[in-house]
Structure 1
Amino acid sequence: MARKTIVTNWVHREVLDRLETRGAVEANQARQPWSREELLTRARDADAMVAFMTDHVDEEFLEQCPDLKVIACALKGADNFDLAACRRRGVAVSIVPDLLTAPTAELTIGLMIALGRNIVEGDRLVRGGSFTGWRPILYGTGLDGATVGIIGMGAVGQAIAYRLRAFRCRLLYCDARPLSPGKEDALCLGRRDLSPLLRECDYVVLALPLVPDSLHLIDAVALAAMKPGAMLVNPARGSLVNEAAVADALEAGTLGGYAADVFEMEDWARPDRRCDVESRLRAHPRTVLTPHLGSAVDSVRRDIALAAADDILRFLDGGRMHGMILDPHKSMERTA
């Protein structure tokens, strides 16, 4: 039994009820995250932690929380968590990879339609009071028959491709680990290296994890290689793109638009991360920016937090967590 479990962000009451069957729970009841200083104060005597996108666990954090034995991340990726430091200190880590796939893919389609069909600009026009009826304006780019390139063909990339088939898109993908020919055929996918994909596509969608090799994958060079007027969509991780370079390309008119649900400022493990969203992206009319809504479906968020809570209960009962990516007592790790 844990002496104390810390829950760093707001969760549904039933999540706390489940955790309280194994000991004391201290939970953030607000919709804003605790500051790092407040979190450290509350977590110093915790045995277990349910963590979220706003959290960054590194050597310094673990040093100040010597009793911590397990971190259950209520999210898909662990790039904000120093797994090497967790291993050294004997802290187990789990994620919840599967429940986020469908809602993230769904939002991606929404971002693509909103960007291509000028939905944000149209909404702004109507709300501004100047709309007096149909005019030949705001002509955009539809998905029907468009060439779409997906960079990264893991679970999320495949879910996006599956949904895009309904729009009769020509689908290309790029991934260091190609799918089987049978899976490519089932999803109507053609495989390309990165440069040819960028040259051919009307939309480029990012579906990659953030790792050292993917940091700023889309930089000024990649943007210059894209088809003129193509649109870039990022529902994955903010630092896959160089936001300043994206703003430059938008201002130059070479990039047709940028839609993002994630931003460089969220990637806490980067010591040089931005502290805010690039202001030129926020001001540009050819952007659609959402506040990390990929998993923001109420029932999904409840189930994600419940899955993280269940992983903590399994660990405390001496079992293996379903979403375990780091067992400090074994040499092998499983990643999503």
Structure 2
Amino acid sequence: MKPRIYVTRKLPNQIVERLSESCEVRMWEEDDKPVPREVLEEEIKEVDGLYCLLTEQIDASLLEGADKLKVIANMAVGYNNIDIDAAKRLGITVTNTPGVLTETTADLTFSLLMATARRIPEASEYLRDGDWKTWSPMQLTGQDIHGATLGIIGLGRIGEAVAKRAKGFDMKILYHNRSRNREAEERLELHYTELNTLLRECDFVCVLTPFTSETNNMIGKEQLDLMKESAVIINTARGGIINEKALYGALKEKSIWAAGLDVFEEEPISLDHPLLTLPNLVTLPHIGSASIATRMKMADLAATNLLDVLLGEEPPNRVV
């Protein structure tokens, strides 16, 4: 008898076909909304494997009702949507999909930095609204990227990939990380510094650290107050690392120049959120890894992780 799995979002046909060769697959068929909690609670009771996204909160109460569950394959690098301690206690393997999205997310991070610095969305809207009547010396002027100082908070794979891109713009690069990486410092000409020093000295700050209890609200009012009035902060990691109330205040009062966010504390962000009223904020709907090729690689890697566990093999990307 084939193991049973539940997939929490509609996947590309070739991934479903691959899973179906070895498993009995049930899948939430909606593409534009997450599986309701009550549906997930019922489905997870009868399956050996769960293939899920960041949109699903896999907490202890859900896992305790899943007596047959052996593996959770999260189609993401982060796994803060899963109660890891509960999974470990219950003997459930958890996997993720690192590596395959590094370059694509770094592309998006630097794209967001550039779009924010040069006010590209604002300029496009200015033209489309019919406000472009003439050229003037300081019209829609932004911040220079070339030769500026970039601070990277979290020097993992994506942080290093962003640093490589910054080198092409002759940027001086500072970084802050839990542990110092002297090999990367030499290879990429990086300078390690304490967080407060990085915030004070940098023209651009990219937040790329994982979301943990230590990084929750890592950047609040006290930290934002250290930054230059001309500084830009970018977050493509996880919402909650930057305190949104504090960020709103800093942008509203123009104590920093601008921000670019691909992630939010609550996703999707509410359309009446105060942040969305600000002209000096560029926002994206969590699309860091959203290239066709990369999302297919992520989907396939999550399938590999899930199948390996169910077939008695060691998965390539075990979390616990």
The question of whether the paired residues in 1 share the 8 Å contact of 2:75 and 2:299 is answered with yes
Find the counterpart in structure 1 of residue 194 from structure 2: 193
Query: Structure 1 runs of 4+ off > 4 angstroms?
Result: none
Matches within 5 A, 1:1-336: 2-31=2-31, 32-136=33-137, 137-180=139-182, 182-266=183-267, 276=270, 279-326=273-320
Residue 275 of structure 1, CA deviation: 7.2
C-alpha distance in 1 between matches for 2:295 and 2:9: 12
Q: For 2:222, what is the secondary structure of its paired residue?
A: helix
Q: What corresponds to 1:333 in structure 2?
A: none
Q: Is the 8 A contact 2:3 2:310 kept in 1?
A: no
> Runs of 5+ in structure 1 lacking a partner?
267-273, 327-336
Partner Cα separation in structure 2 for residue 2 and residue 167 of structure 1: 53
Aligned-residue offset at 1:42: 2.5
Deviation at 1:63, TM superposition (A): 2.0
**Sequence identity of aligned pairs in percent?**
33
Paired with 1:91 and 1:278, the residues of 2 have a C-alpha distance of 39
8 A Cα contact 1:261 1:294, kept in partner: yes
Partners of 1:288 and 1:9 lie apart in 2 by 28
- The answer to whether the 8 Å contact 1:104/1:295 transfers is yes
Which 10-residue stretch deviates more, 230-239 or 61-70?
A: 61-70
SS at 2:143 equivalent: coil
**Counterpart Cα distance in 2 of 1:132 and 1:213:** 50
Deviations 1:165-214 (A, max 9, x none): 1011111111121112x421221211110111111011111010011111
Aligned partner of residue 123 in structure 2, secondary structure = helix
Residue type at the aligned position of 2:113: M
How many residues align? The count is: 318
Preserved contact between residue 173 and residue 189 of structure 1 (Cα < 8 Å):
yes
Displacement of 1:2: 4.3
Which residues of structure 2 form unaligned runs of 5+? none
TM score, norm. by length of structure 1: 0.91
Shift of 1:73: 0.8
Q: Once the 2 structures are TM-superposed, how far is the Cα of residue 98 of structure 1 from its aligned partner?
A: 0.6
CA RMSD of the aligned region, Å?
1.5
Query: Residue type of the partner of 1:175?
Result: N
Matched letter for residue 314 of structure 1: D
1:229 deviates by 2.2
106 and 163 in structure 1: CA distance in 2 versus 1, 3 angstrom threshold: same
The answer on whether the counterparts of 1:149 and 1:203 sit within 8 Å (CA) in structure 2 is: yes
| Distance across 1 between alignment mates of 2:180 and 2:272 | 34
Q: Which stretch has the larger CA shift, 206-215 or 135-144?
A: 135-144
SS at match of 1:215: coil
User: CA shift at 1:129, angstroms?
Assistant: 1.4
For 2:122 and 2:14, the matched residues in 1 are separated by: 40
What is the TM-score when the length of structure 2 is the normalising length?
0.96
Distance 1:172 1:207, change over 3 A: same
Q: 1:278 to 1:242 in 2, by over 3 A?
A: farther
Once residues 124 and 132 of structure 2 are traced to their aligned partners in structure 1, the CA distance between those partners, rounded to angstroms, is: 10
Q: Deviations over 1:299-321 (max 9, x none)?
A: 21111111111111111221101
1:276 Cα shift? 3.8
Shifted more, 74-83 versus 26-35: the winner is 26-35
Amino acid aligned to 1:298 = I
